[in-house]
C-alpha cells in the first residue's frame, strides 16, 4: 500500500487584484483524513481548493504535500505534477469520449500501457458501479452517473490527494445523500487524503472526519466528526 500524504497550508494568502480572498490561512490536514471545507458563498472555498490543485498560485505562504513543497509565493507546481485527482460540480467530462476513454485519460497522459490502463479503468468503474456503462458517451448518462464517471477518473490514478468542489450540488437531494454516503465509504476504503468543498453542513457531516469552517479568508473553526451518523462535537 502506498504512503499517505498530509497537507500543510502555512500562512497562505491570495487576492484577486486588491480583493483579498485568503488572508494568512493556516491549516494542517493529517494523512489519510477527509476534511470538509464549509462556509458561505464567496468565503474562498474554491480558491483554496484551486491553490491546493495548482490552478492558482499563492501571493504568500506555503503549501506542502507530505515533505514536498508544492507552492510558495509566486511559485507553484502544476496540477499534473501534484499527484491529485479532482471532481468538480459540473462533472467536466469530455463529451466526445466514451466513459472508458474519459476515465482512461489521466493514465494515458502518464503513459500507462494499454493493458494496464484497461484493467485499472475497469476496476475504477466497478468501484463506482458503472462497469455496464463503459462504452456510453456522457450525454447518455444521468447527472449522478456522470458524476460517478468523474469520480472514477479522479481515483483511477490512485492519487495521493483527492479534491472535490461541491461535486453533488447539481443533483437532487435524495441522490445527493445516497451518493454522498457511497463516496464516504469509497474514500474510507481508498484511505486517500481528501479535501471536500461544500456549503451543505449535512453533506460535510456525512462525509468528513473534520469540518473546517472558513470565514473572511481564514479558518474560523475546526470540528471533529465523531461518528458515521454525522454527530459533530
Ligand atoms: N476570477 C475572479 N476574479 C475576481 N474575483 C473572483 C474571481 N473568482 C472568485 N472571485 C472572488 O473571490 C471570492 C472567493 O471566491 P470563491 O469562488 O473562492 O468562493 P466560494 O467560497 O467557493 O463560493 P461559492 O460557495 O459561491 O462557490 C469571492 O468574493 C469571489 O467574488
Ligand atoms: Mg466555490
Average pLDDT over residues 115-122: 96
Average pLDDT over residues 161-167: 96
Average pLDDT over residues 100-129: 95
Phi, psi of 88 (to 5 degrees): -105, 165
Pocket test for ligand 1, best of 21, 57, 166, 213 (most atoms within 8 A of CB): 21
Report d(CA 188, CA 183) in Å as an integer: 8
- Residue 28, strand partner residues: 8
> By the 8 A CB rule, do 63 and 26 touch?
no
* Distance between Cα 180 and ligand 2 center (Å): 18
- pTM of whole model > 0.85? yes
pLDDT at 27: 97
* Distance between Cα 44 and ligand 1 center (Å): 6
* Distance between Cα 16 and ligand 1 center (Å): 9
Does residue 232 surpass a pLDDT of 70? no
Percent of the chain with pLDDT over 90: 86
pLDDT tens-digit readout, 32-72: 999 999 999 999 999 999 999 999 999 999 999 999 999 99
Distant-in-sequence, close-in-space partners of 148: CB < 8 Å, separation ≥ 6: 128, 129, 130, 179
| Mean pLDDT for the chain overall | 93
pLDDT at 173: 86
Report d(CA 189, CA 197) in Å as an integer: 20
* Distance between Cα 124 and ligand 2 center (Å): 27
Name residues contacting ligand 1 (CB within 6 A).
16, 19, 21, 39, 41-47, 199
Does residue 1 surpass a pLDDT of 60? no
Using CA positions, which residue lies closest to atom 18 of ligand 1?
44
Taken in order 24, 29, 31, 34, is the CA torsion positive or negative?
A: negative
pLDDT at 228: 52
Which strands sit side by side in the sheet containing 19-29, from one edge to the other?
19-29, 7-16, 60-65, 68-72, 75-76
pLDDT at 230: 46
Q: Which residue has cell 485568503?
A: 22
pLDDT at 16: 95
Does residue 221 surpass a pLDDT of 60? yes
Tell me if residue 143 falls in helix, strand or coil: helix
pLDDT tens-digit readout, 143-160: 999 999 999 999 999 999
Does residue 233 surpass a pLDDT of 50? no
Average pLDDT over residues 109-115: 93
Amino acid at each position: 500500500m502506498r504512503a499517505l500524504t498530509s497537507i500543510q497550508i502555512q500562512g497562505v494568502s491570495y487576492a484577486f487584484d486588491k480583493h483579498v480572498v485568503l488572508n494568512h490561512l493556516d491549516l494542517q490536514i493529517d494523512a489519510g483524513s477527509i476534511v470538509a471545507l464549509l462556509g458561505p458563498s464567496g468565503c474562498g472555498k474554491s480558491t483554496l481548493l484551486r491553490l491546493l490543485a495548482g490552478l492558482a498560485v499563492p501571493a504568500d505562504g506555503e503549501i506542502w504535500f507530505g515533505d514536498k513543497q508544492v507552492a510558495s509565493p509566486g511559485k507553484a507546481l502544476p496540477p499534473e505534477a501534484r499527484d491529485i485527482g479532482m471532481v468538480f460540480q459540473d462533472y467536466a467530462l469530455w463529451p466526445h469520449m466514451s466513459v472508458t476513454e474519459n476515465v482512461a485519460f489521466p493514465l494515458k497522459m502518464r503513459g500507462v500501457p494499454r493493458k494496464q490502463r484497461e484493467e485499472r479503468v475497469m476496476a475504477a468503474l466497478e468501484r463506482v458501479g458503472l462497469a455496464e456503462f463503459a462504452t456510453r458517451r456522457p450525454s447518455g448518462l444521468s447527472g449522478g452517473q456522470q458524476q460517478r464517471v468523474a469520480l472514477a477518473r479522479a481515483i483511477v490514478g490512485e492519487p495521493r490527494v483527492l479534491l472535490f468542489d461541491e461535486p453533488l450540488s447539481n443533483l437532487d437531494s435524495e441522490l445527493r445523500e445516497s451518493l454522498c454516503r457511497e463516496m464516504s465509504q469509497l474514500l474510507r476504503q481508498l484511505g486517500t487524503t481528501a479535501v471536500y468543498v461544500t456549503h451543505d453542513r449535512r453533506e460535510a457531516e456525512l462525509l468528513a472526519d473534520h469540518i473546517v469552517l472558513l470565514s473572511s479568508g481564514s479558518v474560523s473553526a475546526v470540528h471533529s466528526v465523531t461518528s458515521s451518523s454525522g454527530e459533530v462535537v
